[in-house]
Structure 1
Amino acid sequence: MTESKLGWAVPLMRAGYIGKGLVYLAVAGISLYSIWRGGNARDTSSALGWLDTTWGGGVTLFVILVGMVAYALWRVLDATFDLEDYGREAKGIVARIGMLVTGAVHLGIGVTVFSLLFGSGGGSGEGSSIPRHVGTIMSWPGGRWIIGAVALLIVAAGAHYMRQGWTNEYRQHLRANPVTTRWNPVLKAGLIAHGVVVGVVGLLFGFAAWQANPEQAGGTGEAFSWLSGQIYGQILVTAICVGLLGFALFCLVNAAYRIVPKVSGPDVQTLAAKLMPR
C-alpha cells in the first residue's frame, strides 16, 4: 500500500485522540472531584465505571470505545508504514515498537469499556487486574525478567513523554495556529504530567519484579496511591491530576491539529517553527 493511499488513516488518528482525550478527562476530572470530597484519585477502570452510572455516560463510553479501537488501528498503521517519518534507524525502530505497545494498551482500555457497555460491568469496581496478570507472567520461567524488562520499557516511555514536554519536541507534530500557540503552556504541562504517571507505573512494575511480588505492580490508580504516600503526596497527586486535564487537552488538540508527515505533505507550518526563537 502506498503512502498516498493511506490518507484514510488520518480520520482514525483523529478519532483515536478524541477517545484518548475523553479517557484522561474522565480520570483527571473524576479524581479531582474525589479528592475535593475527601477521597482518593481514581484509576482508569473506576473512572470509566463511574461514567457508566451517569446520565449520558453510555454515549460517552461508546465514543471512547470507538476511539480506543481507532487509536489501536492507527498505531499499527503508523508503525507499519512509518507515517510519522521516524525512520529505520535504531531510534526510529524503538519509537515504532513503542507505538505498537501503546496501541495494545489502549485496546485494553477498549476491552474494559466494551465490558461496561455490553457485559456484566466487570471492571467498574473490582480493582486493577494488573497484579493478577503480572502474577501469571511471573509464574513462567524467567517471568521476573520479563516483568523487569516491561518495567524498563514503561519507565523509558514515561521519560520520553517528559523529555518531549520539557524540550518542546511535541511542537514538531502540531500545526501552528492560534489554538496551539495560545494553549502551548498547558499542552507542555499536560505532557510532562502524563510522563510522570507513566514513569511511576514503570517503577511499580520494577518493584514487583525486584521483590517477586505481583501485588506491587499496578496502573494509574496504584501510581496515584504511591505518589500520595510521598512527602506532600496529596498536593503532588492533585497537581498531577490538574496536569492530566492538560494532557486531555493535548490529546484533543492532537485530534484536530496533529501533522502526519507522510500524508499531510511538507508544506505545513509546525508549532515548533512558529515559536522558534528569532
Structure 2
Amino acid sequence: MSHTDARAPIDLRTDRAHPARIYDVFLGGKTNYPADRAMAATVAEKMPSVQLAARLNREFVLRAVRYLAGEAGVRQFLDIGTGIPTSPNLHEVAQETAPESRVVYADNDPIVLAHSRALHVSSAVGRTAYIQADFTDPEAILASAELRDTLDLGQPVALTMGLLLHWIDPKDEPHAVVRRLMDALPVGSCLMISVFARELAGGSATLQDDFAAEGTALRPLTRDETLRFFDGTELIDPGLVAPHEWRPRTDVPEIGDPAAGPGAASAPIWAGLGVKK
C-alpha cells in the first residue's frame, strides 16, 4: 500500500468531535474519543433513529460496491471521505467480488490516515492506496501520485462519497467540486452518494447549531440539491431513495433490525448511484 509520508507531529484535535469518529460511535467502533461520544449522544437524543440510520447507510454502501464490482464490472474506486476503517471495508467488498479491483481512499483526518495504513491492506492481485486530502481541493486529489500510480483515469472509476457532502460548507461549492471530479473520469464511470436528507431529518436545525459550536458545518441537503450532483449521469434503478430502499438484499440478513421496520424517517438519508453518460 502506498501513502503519503506524514511523520511530523500532528494535532489530532481529539478534544473536538469529528464526523468520522461520531459515525464510528454509531457503528459500534472503538476509534473515538469523549468529545465524539458526547456529540453522538446529543445527536441520538434529537434523532433517536440515528444509529439505525448509520447502519442502514453502511449496508447501502456495501450493496452498491458489490453491484459496481459485479454487475457493472467496475474495477477502480475512488472513495472520498473514507472515515474510520470498519470491516468489511470498501476494498474488501470490491476485491471479494473482483480481486483485481483497485481502490484509492481519501480523507482529511490524520486519525483515519493512521488506521488506514494498518487496515486498508489490498488483496494479492488488487491494489489499495490512501491519500490524506480534502474534498474541497479536487486538484490535489486528482494530481496525487498515489492516485495516479493506482488508478487509470482512462478507464471507468467509481467515485464514492458516503455521508460526506452535507458536511461541506456551501461556500466551498460542493456541486462544482463533484462536477470537477466527474469531469476527470471517462464515460462509464459511476457516482455513488449518500447524504443527510433535509426533508426527512427532524431536529436538524438545532443539530446544525450543535455542530457549528464544534467548528463543523452541517447542512442537510434537499432531494433536488442531491439530484444536482448526478447531473450528467443516468441514475440506476431505483433512483434516489432512502438507503434501505436501494436494491435490498434478500439472500442474506443485513445489519438493520427488520423488527424496527425502518421507513424513510428512520433513515433520513438520500442514497443513489449514477453512471456517467
TM-score by length of 1: 0.28
> Is the radius of gyration larger for structure 1 or structure 2?
1
TM-score by length of 2: 0.28
